[in-house]
Structure 1
Amino acid sequence: MEEILKGNLIIIGGHEDKKGAKNILKEVCSKIDKEKDELVIATIATDLPKEVGAEYRDIFEKLGVKNINILDVQDRKDACEQGNINIMEKAALIFFTGGDQLKITSLLGGTPLYDAIHESHKRGCVYVGTSAGASVVCDTMIITGDDEAAPKKCTLKMAPGLGLIKNVVIDQHFSQRGRIGRLLVAIAENPESLGVGIDEDTAIMVSVDGEFTVIGSGAVYVVDGSKISYTNVSEQYPDEILSMFDVKMHVLKNGDKFNLKIRQPIKEEKQDKNEDSRR
């Protein structure tokens, strides 16, 4: 299998706890030196960049991060400005907020800032994305589809993402918005990819070796369509219900691990109780 990703990722299903224990955001901050490293908040996806940027800046400052920058790109001209490229080149961690994932790719695609994000990630900058910022990390991302509906044959709209992780399609706000149907359609249309649905206040921490660990209060759902034996997916009669056989699903909770390369959960070895009692 080709290389899955170039650097570390934290992918959040949206609505992470910002007022209570803030466990996910604390984990984000633990990935950098809070005294020396630069954390960049990318407000590209949101229509309220000042408000959202200020909210996250306040949270990260209270969690002890000393050096924080805002990457605010509201048109393609901004993605060509040297000042924004310099921000990205110095970043140890970049945090993409929620909003509209298509806005991210349409503003960044083909620009010097797009290249700078990829180069920074390759050399070790941690990418973190919540909600729209989670979906856009993939090479192919979901941009729209029916929530809380039975899957239909060809009703999903997808587009190229940032491509920081390969052969994975990510959906967020997963159980809260009833998105299992649209993830199944995504996998029926792209069976070479793993589908990963992430609940709110839940995240996956993905390492460069292709393993991820679940953190947070919800669940993560991994849909594997590589062994599908039949599907009726087609552009014809798109409103017909999707049918597919032999699709596999894993459901993971806080602390569970998954290997994206071999498409299997990682089972923690437990000590033999009798052996433990003899010690």
Structure 2
Amino acid sequence: MRFPTPTLSALLLLASQSTMASAADPVVGPVKGSLVVVGGGTLSDSIYQEVITRAKGGPIIVIPTADEQPTYDQNAAGAATFRRLGASRVTVLHTYDPKVADTDAFIAPLLNASAVWFGGGRQWRLVDAYAGTKTEAAFQAVLDRGGVIGGSSAGASIQGSFLARGDTKTNQILVGDHTVGFGYLRNVAIDQHLLVRGRIFDMFDILKVRPELLGFGCDENTALVVDGDDAHVIGASYCAIYDGGFWSREGSEEKNLPPKDQIFYFLRAGDKYNLAQRKVIE
């Protein structure tokens, strides 16, 4: 059977629909799946529950590697808390050796995972162990299947494309010897422990050399939850936004504001933000 040759108008319509679908893809956040980006500290059950809910009963893989302990048991990096809250399939997966991380045997638990959770420590250790390996690809595949990636402290910063505090000598160097994260948030740098550790001005060290980046940092027990380019804050404290603009519940007309390259503002639980438009959704 011969099929009719598509007309020019039909081809143009298909091309237009393809362009529209592409244009609808998120600019900053993941195309599929969601992120839970936590500022560190002792976490409320509700933050772990956010990951459990988004995993929809599927396996949760906990990655404790950032902490640099000699060994980890199956309760490490929040795994015990996930189980206590009702997650029945929780596996701690770890290696410091990228050759091991690049094997099919190692990534086997990730192949049907619905969630990945990165524990705290130093984010560059995650890069050294997993960047460029089959394991990093398997992390991304969890998102591509519509799953969730979350993490706290180092597990938050690794989710950005720019790796904040990635220096192997000290975490006080914002632009260090490791500057590339896993990139689940594109063109973004992420800081953590924001208010508790007095880090609210530190992001400017990054933005001075990479002014095109969107910066944000969350305080302890506080998270930015991301679906595509839509984000909202959950938790007990605040996330700071460094987008070159300013927002306040009482407006900004009468504020005495610093220059754009020195400005930031805070969002709290329930506040919504569009990552692509770089603006608060009121």
Q: Kindly indicate whether residue 205 of structure 2 is the aligned counterpart of residue 176 of structure 1.
A: no
Give the drift of 1:254: 0.8
Return the structure number with greater helix share. 2
The one-letter code matched in structure 2 to 1:32 is: A
Which stretch of structure 1 is more off in the superposition, 134-143 or 23-32?
23-32
Q: Kindly indicate whether residue 27 of structure 2 is the aligned counterpart of residue 3 of structure 1.
A: yes
Q: 1:146–1:160: structure 2 CA closer, same or farther, 3 Å change rule?
A: closer
Q: How many residues align?
A: 239
The one-letter code matched in structure 2 to 1:219 is: Y
CA distance in 2, matches of 1:4, 1:174: 22
| Matching residue of 1:74 | 96
CA distance in 1, matches of 2:84, 2:189: 33
| Matching residue of 1:259 | 274
- Equivalent residue for 2:55, pick from 22, 28, 32: 32
Matched-pair contact (CA < 8 Å) for 1:101–1:132: yes
Structure 1 residues 58-93: Cα deviation after superposition (integer angstroms, max 9, x where no partner): 211110011111111221122023222121111100
The one-letter code matched in structure 1 to 2:142 is: S
- Equivalent residue for 1:60, pick from 82, 95, 101: 82
5 Å-filtered alignment, 1:1-279, equals: 3-6=27-30, 7-17=33-43, 22-34=45-57, 37-48=58-69, 49-50=71-72, 53-54=75-76, 56-142=78-164, 143-144=166-167, 156-157=175-176, 159-208=179-228, 210-225=229-244, 245-247=259-261, 248-267=263-282
Give the drift of 1:50: 1.5
Q: Which runs of 5+ in 2 are unaligned?
A: 1-22, 247-257
The one-letter code matched in structure 1 to 2:27 is: E
Structure 1 residues 140-183: Cα deviation after superposition (integer angstroms, max 9, x where no partner): 11125776xxxxxx973251011111011100001111112320
The one-letter code matched in structure 2 to 1:27 is: E
| Matching residue of 1:270 | none
Residue 225 of structure 2 aligns to a residue whose secondary structure is strand
CA distance in 1, matches of 2:153, 2:271: 21
Q: Which structure 1 residue ranges, 4+ long, deviate > 3 Å from structure 2?
A: 51-55, 144-147
Give the drift of 1:53: 3.8
CA distance in 2, matches of 1:96, 1:211: 22
The one-letter code matched in structure 1 to 2:63 is: A
The one-letter code matched in structure 2 to 1:45 is: A
TM-score by length of 1: 0.79
| Matching residue of 1:234 | none
User: Percent identity of the aligned residues?
Assistant: 29
CA distance in 2, matches of 1:141, 1:56: 23
Structure 1 residues 103-143: Cα deviation after superposition (integer angstroms, max 9, x where no partner): 10111122111122222222212110110010011111112
Aligned-residue CA RMSD (Å):
2.3
Q: Which runs of 5+ in 1 are unaligned?
A: 148-153, 228-243, 268-279
CA distance in 1, matches of 2:74, 2:266: 32
Q: 1:127–1:251: structure 2 CA closer, same or farther, 3 Å change rule?
A: same
Give the drift of 1:55: 5.7
Matched-pair contact (CA < 8 Å) for 1:44–1:103: yes
Matched-pair contact (CA < 8 Å) for 1:4–1:261: yes
Matched-pair contact (CA < 8 Å) for 2:63–2:77: no
